[in-house]
Chain A
């Protein structure tokens, strides 16, 4: 009955914020637990462990994902960005700056997930991905406040900072657009 009780381990590689980690993981371990407990990257938060709050949101291969639902063993070789990897050295990303300026958080526990989610969400919009509130699926979505709200709804905030979060995402999107126009 050993198979019933003995943890199974697997060797995997994860690239986290540009750094490669070779790891032996329990097949049961989520990426979230590997980040927090093995790699000491505790920026990604555990709020529900079931994909229902979004506090653990990270980028896997550039796409936002719930780290709590992603088994590490199933993501061998994945390129991961966490909240610790959003800033460019000491320089905060536009989203991080905007969250501070708009007071888009209180307790801060959902914030890393919000930031990663918003970062990837802006990229999804740039790629033309629609949302449930996009009126005409044939058209390019325009990032108005309703779109931001719908697209950010996978990240719950119990402090109720949504008004600030929407303002911050709007501000960051405008900043990115300005930057793109200047470039």
Chain B
């Protein structure tokens, strides 16, 4: 690990002022310290933002949640309001990592964690995300758990967060403080597809600091389901965040997002469009899933993710449909 200075930010303004080209903000450090030890990230300065007063979860009068960026994953998942109003969010967080990591990890850091693609994590190998222009060996190499949607020649990585998948389904937005002032970025636009700039995971500008996440009210049953290669403490092969409102056997409202399939949490807009107003049956769920996955471009060894995602969409919606019918 390269030597670095450590500074504890006293305010948002202070944090922004301390940020320069080789600065990283430090939250819980559960991914950043890991990557620094691998030599993948080499900051010269860490500005600790975990002690800023962003450690609260507030319920606004309209029923929205405002979750501070420094809230720990554990605190978010344990919060009574979150569990009752947005269970999909609590469930997603609880399927991520382990109890002890969730205690350290922050909400802001969770959004900004990097892909677990093997090539990205090995500083001695080419990787366009880590070293732009060096190539993507994953495309022809080991990619059984990489992207089937929205990937590019340059990058086939997936985003590893579970929480972010739920947030995308919930129409959340990210509050960001930057040099140009405060802005709110819809979660669906927060993470990027790789295109020819896979080194950029998000739309954040240098120095931008995530301060909070705002989650509008949900008001319908929701659920998170994650499929992985061991029963716990593993990243998703495919995951799904879903919410469904059925009235008189007809889909009135639906939210669907997939994890483990793309460079960003994948909002299944095509499936949602196909579902709205249709009968809440396995048949229409299947049609919707097909509509979404028609655009899938599986790689040599990850085609199984297409039926996996399809089945998850159908089954999760069916379970939510039974719960609301």
Q: Are B83 and A66 in contact (CB under 8 A)?
A: no
Contact B30 A124, beta carbon cutoff 8 Å: no
CA distance A3 to B44 in the complex (A): 8
Nearest Cβ on chain A to B316's Cβ, whole angstroms: 15
Question: Which residues of A have CB within 8 Å of B83?
Answer: 130, 137-138
Residues of A near B28 (CB, < 8 A) are: 69
Query: Could you tell me the distance in whole angstroms from the C-beta of B153 to the nearest C-beta in chain A?
Result: 30
How many whole Å from B104's CB to the nearest CB in chain A? 5
Contact A153 B4 (CB under 8 A): no
B interface footprint on A97-131 (CB within 8 Å = 1, 0 otherwise)? 00000000000000000000100110010011111
Which residues of A69-117 are within 8 A (CB) of B?
A: 69-71, 73-74, 117
**Shortest Cβ gap from A141 to chain B (Å):** 10
Given pairs A70-B29, A153-B231, 13 additional interface contacts (CB within 8 A): A3-B3, A28-B3, A64-B99, A66-B30, A69-B33, A69-B104, A71-B29, A74-B26, A74-B46, A138-B83, A149-B232, A150-B231, A154-B100
Q: Is A5 an interface residue (CB 8 A)?
A: yes
A4 and B100 contact, CB distance less than 8 A: no
Q: Is A54 a contact partner of B98 (Cβ separation < 8 A)?
A: yes
Is B77 a contact partner of A129 (Cβ separation < 8 A)? Answer: yes
Contacts of B5 in A (CB 8 A): 3, 8, 27
Chain B: residues with Cβ within 8 Å of the partner, total of 40
Binding site for A on B (CB under 8 A): 1-6, 8, 26, 28-30, 33-34, 36-38, 44, 46, 48, 50, 74, 77-78, 83-84, 87, 90-91, 94-95, 97-101, 103-104, 231-233
Bound Cα distance from A156 to B1, whole angstroms: 26
What is the minimal beta-carbon distance from A95 to any residue of chain B, in angstroms? 15
Chain B CB count within 10 A is highest, among A30, A149, A150, for A150
Cα A156 to Cα B48 with chains together (Å): 30
- Total interface residues on A, CB under 8 Å, equals 46
**Nearest 8 A/B pairs, CB to CB:** A154-B98, A153-B232, A137-B83, A132-B94, A129-B78, A64-B100, A27-B6, A63-B103
Q: Which of B36, B37, B77, B233 contacts A154 (CB 8 A)?
A: B233
Residue of A nearest to B102 (CB): A154
B100 touches A66 (CB 8 A): yes
A57 touches B91 (CB 8 A): no
Q: Find the A residue at minimum CB distance from B48.
A: A74
Specify which chain A residues have a CB less than 8 angstroms from the CB of B99 in the assembled complex: 64, 117, 120-121, 124, 131, 151, 154
Contact with B along A2-26 (1 / 0, CB 8 A): 0111111010000000000000001
- Which of chain A's residues have a CB closer than 8 A to the CB of B87? 137-138
- List residues of chain A with CB under 8 Å of any chain B CB: 3-8, 10, 26-28, 30, 49-51, 54, 57, 60, 63-66, 69-71, 73-74, 117, 120-121, 124, 127-132, 134, 137-138, 149-151, 153-156
> How distant is A34 from chain B, measured CB to nearest CB, in Å?
14
CB<8 Å pairs between A and B, sample of 7: A28-B3, A69-B104, A74-B46, A74-B50, A117-B100, A124-B74, A154-B98
A66-B100, A70-B104, A153-B232 given as contacts; is B91 within 8 A of A4 (CB)? no
Most buried by A among B33, B37, B99, B104: B99
User: Which residues from B are CB-within-8-Å of A130?
Assistant: 77-78, 83, 90, 94
Minimum CB distance partner of A2 in chain B = B3
- With A66-B104, A129-B74 as known contacts, state yes or no: A74 contacts B3, CB within 8 Å: no
Q: How far is the CA of A155 from the CA of B97 in the complex (A)?
A: 11
Q: A49-B37, A127-B78 are in contact. Are A65 and B100 (CB under 8 A)?
A: yes
Instruction: State whether B84 touches A74 (Cβ < 8 A).
Output: no
Q: Are B30 and A51 in contact (CB under 8 A)?
A: yes
Q: Which of A8, A49, A154 contacts B97 (CB 8 A)?
A: A154
Contact partner of A138 (CB less than 8 A), chosen from B2, B30, B38, B84, is B84
A32 to B124, CA, bound (A): 27
Please measure, in the bound complex, the distance between the C-alpha atom of A15 and the C-alpha atom of B37, giving whole angstroms.
26
Q: Which of B48, B91, B103 is the one whose CB lies under 8 Å from A64?
A: B103
Q: Which of B1, B74, B90 contacts A28 (CB 8 A)?
A: B1
A10–B84 CA distance with the chains assembled, in angstroms = 43
What's the Cα separation between A57 and B102 when bound, in Å?
A: 12
- Assess the B98–A65 pair: CB atoms within 8 A: no
B3 touching A66 by the CB < 8 A rule? no
* Cα distance A179–B104 in the bound complex, in angstroms: 30
